[in-house]
Chain A
Amino acid sequence: AQSVTQPDIHITVSEGASLELRCNYSYGATPYLFWYVQSPGQGLQLLLKYFSGDTLVQGIKGFEAEFKRSQSSFNLRKPSVHWSDAAEYFCAVGPDNYGQNFVFGPGTRLSVLP
């Protein structure tokens, strides 16, 4: 069965510092990979997705993620964090892009220090 792990439950960074959120997945075939962000009291918003092709994908709000098949990873990065980036981040994996059988990771809570 497919699974997603996010090793870091909570990360704190200073505003302006770089950020990397880790995501590892277990899936038997080529997965569809997603990163979502959930701000307090809000639903989930898609940051970026990977289906195929270039393994470095760009998303909204200055985020990027790199798919590494050999490491079964899809880590999210941002070169300079803004206070408004404080939120919960979820990595997700699916067998396709139709939404069925998506599996979400446990989430990483990001706190940003002024």
Chain B
Amino acid sequence: SAVISQKPSRDICQRGTSLTIQCQVDSQVTMMFWYRQQPGQSLTLIATANQGSEATYESGFVIDKFPISRPNLTFSTLTVSNMSPEDSSIYLCSVSRAMDGELFFGEGSRLTVL
């Protein structure tokens, strides 16, 4: 399995500020993903974090709002920029390895924007 650590686990932020979430994996992985889980909702994929190239964003998500870095095969960051209360969600990092055939998830970063 893959063990994923996310920081921060939770934060309360002011409107208009930005927050960077870190995701560290205990082994090298090919695919890393960032999901958003709005209150009481299911998971929505924000983007796929590609090592060595720009992230691939899903419809409705843009790089200016959610810049992503993937400097190596074990680490990624997601920044939530110019936050508004609508950005209050749980942000989840996930990874997959072909040998496992499943997605592994971090415990999530619970963000509250006032």
A102 touches B103 (CB 8 A): yes
Number of A-B residue pairs having CB atoms within 8 Å of each other in the complex: 56
A99 touches B108 (CB 8 A): no
Contacts of A32 on B, CB cut-off 8 Å?
101
B103 touches A46 (CB 8 A): yes
Known A105-B42, A106-B41, A106-B42: A99·B105 in contact at CB below 8 Å: no
Known A98-B31, A99-B94, A99-B95: A45·B105 in contact at CB below 8 Å: yes
Q: Which of B9-53 contact A (CB under 8 A)?
A: 30-31, 33, 41-43, 45, 48
Known A44-B92, A98-B31: A107·B42 in contact at CB below 8 Å: yes
Mark contacts of A69-95 with chain B using CB atoms, 8 A cut-off: 1 yes-contact digit, 0 otherwise: 000000000000000000000101000
Interface of B (DSSP majority class):
strand
Minimum distance in angstroms from A59 CB to a CB of chain B:
11
A97 touches B42 (CB 8 A): no
Minimum distance in angstroms from A28 CB to a CB of chain B:
19
A90 touches B94 (CB 8 A): no
Interface of A (DSSP majority class):
loop
Contacts of B4 on A, CB cut-off 8 Å?
43
B43 touches A90 (CB 8 A): yes
Minimum distance in angstroms from B64 CB to a CB of chain A:
23
B107 touches A43 (CB 8 A): yes
Mark contacts of B93-110 with chain A using CB atoms, 8 A cut-off: 1 yes-contact digit, 0 otherwise: 011101011111111101
Residue of B nearest to A106 (CB): B42
Residue of A nearest to B45 (CB): A102
Residue of A nearest to B1 (CB): A46
A interface residue numbers (CB < 8 A to B):
32, 34, 36, 41-46, 49, 51, 90, 92, 97-100, 102, 104-107
